[in-house]
Structure 1
Amino acid sequence: MNYWEWFYKSFYNRKVIAYSRFRPITTTIGFVLMIIFIASIPYFISLNVTTVSSIQQLNRILENDLPNFYLSDGTLTAEDEEVYYNEEVLDGFFLIDPYNTLSQKELLQLDEGIALQQREFLFVSNGEIQSISYLLLGLQEVSKEDLSHRISLLLNFLPILLTIITSLLYVALAGLGFISISILAFLALLFKGKRNLEYRHMWLITAHSLTLPVILLYWIDILIYPIPFTAFIVSTFIIVLAAVTSIPIPKRSK
Structure 2
Amino acid sequence: MNIFKQLYVSIYSPKMISKFRFQGIGKTILFVFILSLLSTLPTALYFSSSLSEGLKSFDETLRNDLPSFTIENGLLSTDSEKPVEIKKDGFFIILDGSGAYGVEEMESKENAIGILSDKFVFAANGQAQTYEYSLLNMTISKEDIMEITSQFNQLLPIVLTIMILVMYLFGAFVKFIEITILALFGLAFKNSLQRKVNFKQLWVIAAYSTTLATIFFIIMDSLQVVVPSGFLLNWFVHLIVLYLVLKEIPPNKKKIETT
Band the TM-score falls in, shorter-chain normalisation: 0.7 to 0.9
Distance 1:251 1:88 in 2: 69
Aligned to 1:232: 234
CA displacement 1:50-84 (0-9 Å, x = unmatched): 00000111111221342413266xx5x21259762
Distance 2:10 2:88 in 1: 50
Please, what is the CA RMSD of the aligned residues? Answer: 2.8
Unaligned runs of at least 5 residues, structure 1: none
Native 8 Å contact 1:51 1:123 kept in 2: no
Name the SS of the counterpart of 1:79 in structure 2: strand
Q: Which amino acid aligns with 2:23?
A: R
Native 8 Å contact 1:39 1:216 kept in 2: no
Shift in Å, 1:96: 2.9
Aligned to 2:83: 84
Q: Which amino acid aligns with 2:69?
A: N
Native 8 Å contact 1:10 1:16 kept in 2: yes
Larger proportion of helix: 2
Name the SS of the counterpart of 1:131 in structure 2: strand
Native 8 Å contact 1:39 1:219 kept in 2: no
CA displacement 1:111-162 (0-9 Å, x = unmatched): 64322344443134xx533537479xx9774322111011011111000000
Distance 1:112 1:92 in 2: 5
Alignment length (residue pairs): 247
Distance 1:198 1:160, change over 3 A: same
Say whether residues 1:205 and 2:202 are aligned partners.
no
Say whether residues 1:69 and 2:76 are aligned partners.
no
Aligned to 2:223: 223
Distance 2:176 2:72 in 1: 39
Name the SS of the counterpart of 1:165 in structure 2: helix
Aligned to 2:92: 93
Name the SS of the counterpart of 2:253 in structure 1: coil
Distance 1:215 1:61, change over 3 A: same
Distance 1:248 1:71 in 2: 71
Distance 2:120 2:233 in 1: 31
Return the structure number with greater relative CO, CA threshold 8 A, min gap 6: 1
Distance 1:188 1:91 in 2: 46
1:154 corresponds, among 152, 155, 161, to 152
Shift in Å, 1:219: 2.6
Q: Which amino acid aligns with 1:154?
A: F
Distance 1:31 1:90, change over 3 A: closer
Shift in Å, 1:89: 6.6
Native 8 Å contact 1:83 1:95 kept in 2: no
Distance 1:88 1:36, change over 3 A: closer
Aligned to 1:249: 251
Distance 1:214 1:143, change over 3 A: same
Shift in Å, 1:90: 6.4
Native 8 Å contact 1:116 1:122 kept in 2: no
**TM, length-normalised to structure 2:** 0.83
> What percentage of residue pairs aligned between the two structures are identical?
24
Distance 1:146 1:106, change over 3 A: closer
CA displacement 1:173-194 (0-9 Å, x = unmatched): 1111111111111012101131
Say whether residues 1:22 and 2:22 are aligned partners.
yes
Distance 1:71 1:163, change over 3 A: farther
Distance 1:89 1:41, change over 3 A: closer
Distance 2:87 2:175 in 1: 43
Native 8 Å contact 1:123 1:129 kept in 2: yes
Name the SS of the counterpart of 2:121 in structure 1: strand
Aligned to 2:143: 145
Unaligned runs of at least 5 residues, structure 2: none
